[in-house]
Amino acid sequence: MDRLDNTIRPYAWGSPTAIPHLLGAEPTGEPQAEMWMGAHPGAPSRTARGSLAEVIDANPEAELGKAAVAKFGPHLPFLLKILAAGAPLSLQVHPNLEQAKDGYTDEERRGIPVDAPHRNYKDANHKPEMICALTEFDGLCGFRDPVQAADLLAGLDVDSLKPYVDLLHAHPEEAALREVLTAILSADPEEMARTVTETTAACARLGGDYAPYADLAHHYPGDPGVIAAMLLNHVRLQPGEALFLGAGIPHAYLNGLGVEIMATSDNVLRCGLTPKHVDVPELLRVVRFEAGDPGVLRPEASPDGEEVYEAPIDEFRLSRYVLPKGTAAHDLTLDTPQILLCTAGAVRAGEHELSPGQSVFVPAGEQAEVSGEGTVFRATVIV
């Protein structure tokens, strides 16, 4: 079992205080957005044996187990994070596995550098993900019913939004959502900037359900993503609740601290709320134009105390143990690789004492017990 030393990424949208407070450290004044736990080549966790990527590369079957290597290849198929949003992230979608493979192959064939600003596919993998709230956590997830979206837009009484309202009422669900998102992202930039300015003023005046969109416009003035965001469900997770974000589901995290897990990939197609490249035709090919409930997840408890966040994906499995004082140790030994992360209290994982924000990597088959008083998240795979 290896204690992990993890990199904190200072993205501009990160909270300057949330991760330091979790770790019991003094804020630096700089944003601290994500703490990465895993073997992602961009920032692999460090261990006493070298980086976790190096450890796994040296003997994949010993670290990951034969079944995991046979199913996913000789690499850790998930990345675990602590995510601290102090400002909204970009509105985005992720491709499915077939789209990712095709898009990556095509861009490689065309010789587009992987680090090019207009490159869409950094790798050939999909990027399903899950966020579990540690504090109240606000986000956008999936399309609203078109009629509900039309009512929200109509309530602003902004003339330039009325064509979108009419479209949302006039077509079947998929066509309505597709036409309106296409129109928003293809609009003349100057005209859209004026629409966003008028919309922002109306949202600020009305408050209530419109308040999140006034905040978006504060961070991204004139961005068409402010209007696109109003087509989506606004979700407020309570601590312990989660969202699963599958392929093609438009989403954005707005504010809060959470544990995030995802398949190891960097493939993101942006819809707005960003100065980065937005490839509208490719985005429209990937988005699933389906309205529905965002599907807030609550953990399902098992007799041994494990609380599992069910998701239709094999690259990761997320669960947690909430350990009351004086409980017996839990045996967490598995034939698959694990990362154990403490988020509250003080727990013992094997020989390691963990405080909030500290984590360990457990190789496949390695005996793993946890005890103490606190909360431990467990990340592994399904084989």
Residues recognised as catalytic: 270
**Hey, what are 378's tokens?**
């467990």
Contacts of 382 (CB under 8 A, 6+ apart): 313, 314, 317, 336
Instruction: Specify burial of residue 238 (Cβ count, 10 A radius: 0-12, 13-18, 19+).
Output: exposed
Helix axes 189-206, 211-219, angle to 10 degrees: 140
Residue 194's identity, in one-letter code, is R
Check if the beta carbon of residue 4 is closer than 8 Å to that of residue 44: no
